[in-house]
Amino acid sequence: QVQLVQSGAEVKKPGASVKVSCKASGYTFTSYGISWVRQAPGQGLEWMGWISAYNGNTNYAQKLQGRVTMTTDTSTSTAYMELRSLRSDDTAVYYCARVTWTGRSFDYWGQGTLVTVSS
């Protein structure tokens, strides 16, 4: 069965960076993309960007351009999301999700990683 298992919760200070991992199993990793979606406390869902696990092509949300980098390691079927220059409003649960074959939505999601940014 398809599973996406994310790394554990993080606490960071403003200005620091965080790198969240997402290990995939149960399918051919390079056949699908991975998107990252975040959810601030008590808020809705915000798409951050996506990466093709096939060729590494990326597309980032405009508001995060320059602060976010998404990568994959095909040898371990793991996707990574790094967010730099953290601010308090980056406090959120970060989800990875498998992009469907149409490239238009997300079918399986990780369990989420809480990133807290606090001085």
Q: Which residues bind another protein (CB under 8 A)?
A: 35, 37, 44-47, 59, 61-62, 95, 97, 100, 102, 104-112
Q: Strands (DSSP E) along the chain, which ranges?
A: 3-6, 10-12, 18-25, 33-39, 46-52, 58-60, 68-73, 78-83, 92-99, 106-109, 113-117
What's the CA gap between 33 and 35, in Å, rounded? 7
Residue placing its CB nearer to another protein in the complex, 59 or 88: 59
Least distance from another protein to the Cβ atom of residue 87, Å: 20
Residue 29: count of CB within 10 angstroms of its CB: 21
Query: Looking at beta carbons only, is 102 or 119 nearer to another protein?
Result: 102
Q: Between residues 29 and 106, which has the closer beta carbon with respect to another protein?
A: 106
* Three-class secondary structure of residue 113 per DSSP: strand
> From the CB of 112, what's the least distance to another protein, in Å?
6
Instruction: In angstroms, give the least distance from the CB of 29 to another protein.
Output: 19
Residue with token string 């074959």:
101
Cα 33 off chain centre by: 11
User: Nearest distance from residue 56's CB to another protein, in Å?
Assistant: 18
Nearer to another protein, 4 or 18 (CB): 4
